[in-house]
Amino acid sequence: MQGPIGVFDSGYGGLTILKELVKQLPQYDYLYLGDNARAPYGTRSFDTVYHYTLECVKHLFSKGCHLVILACNTASAKALRNIQQLDLPHIAPERRVLGVIRPTTEVVGTFTDTKHIGIFATAGTVLSESYLVEIKKFFPDIEVAQEACPMWVPLIENGEFDSAGADYFVKKHVKHLLAQSPEIDAVLLGCTHYPLLIKKIRQFLPPSIRIINQAEIVAYSLSDYLQRHPELEAKCSKNGQRTFYTTDSTEAFDRQSAVFFGQEVKSLHQDLGK
């Protein structure tokens, strides 16, 4: 039986990924689950993120999803490998879970001429060193500088991403990142929230430095993946429908989603395990 493509995030950030998926692959049905009741994931332990993410993946499977995208850098960094290697073979060997880090690192080297890249991310993603490990696999000659930005997500979720109050924290972390290497000529926004700060980031970055659009990369990668796996693609329903679930307040989710997704949504509340 066919089912929607599941898109999971700890909260709202994954909607920036879903927005691009819908733009590039509008024919598919998508089911989005935001675990807002337990967000943010960025400061939580590896075990906690793994437990929460696996629970949400299982729930999306129960809703008929044959393919789930972890549209969250923290979940991709802390939980994806265990889910793919330890859990899927036992609970759902015919289903697939993909993340956002691998497709990004496969092409990130094409965005730099100096072979020096900067990454803005949550503390959890930085500490996991997932980007460092994955980039080295594909581009061993590239130097990567990381900067954890713990205040950026709270600023964004409190509607301060375009305010003067955000300037201090954006300028601070841009300065810290560039201080690690004056040769950086491309930066990756390693958190799905961060595109909402792109105007501020652009304001404080030298104009010669490129900002890499992770959402576009993930969408292109998914399109390629589905073409290479026709047996899985055939299980994805194609009615152009989008369904949104949140584990917290639907009113708050709908209000924030208009910012992250770019259009109004009407979400449903979901208690996990039910």
By the 8 A CB rule, do 253 and 34 touch? Answer: yes
Instruction: Give residue-wise pLDDT tens across range 243-264.
Output: 999 999 999 999 999 999 999 9
193 carries a ligand binding annotation: yes
Region 180-189 average pLDDT? 97
Alpha carbon distance 129, 126 (integer Å): 5
Are 39 and 249 in contact by the 8 Å Cβ rule? The answer is no
Q: Is 9 annotated as a binding residue?
A: yes
Give 88-110 pLDDT, tens digit per residue.
Answer: 999 999 999 999 999 999 999 99
CA dihedral for 101, 102, 104, 108, sign (positive or negative): positive
This prediction has a pTM of 0.94
**Helical H segments across the chain, by residue range:** 14-24, 46-62, 73-78, 80-82, 88-91, 101-107, 123-128, 130-138, 152-157, 165-180, 198-204, 214-228, 230-233, 250-260
**Three-state DSSP state, 244:** strand
Which helix (H) or strand (E) segment holds residue 67: the answer is: strand 67-70
> Was 125 annotated as part of a binding site?
no
DSSP for 157-199, written as a single string:
HTT-TTSTHHHHHHHHHHHHHHHH-TT--EEEE-STTGGGGHH
Residue 128 known to bind ligand: no
pLDDT confidence tier of residue 216, bands split at 50, 70 and 90: very high
Bridge partners, 121 (sequence order): 148
Domains and CATH numbers, the chain: 5-99+216-269 (3.40.50.1860), 103-214 (3.40.50.1860)
Tokens of 218: 């993930």
Query: Average pLDDT, stretch 147-170?
Result: 93
In whole angstroms, what is the distance from residue 32 CA to residue 13 CA? 11
Confidence check: pLDDT of 274 > 60: no
Query: Is pLDDT at 46 greater than 80 in this prediction?
Result: yes
Q: Which residues are catalytic?
A: 72, 191
Is it the case that residue 115 has pLDDT exceeding 90?
yes
> How many Å separate Cα 271 from the centre of its chain?
22
The span from the CA of 77 to the CA of 41, in Å, is 11
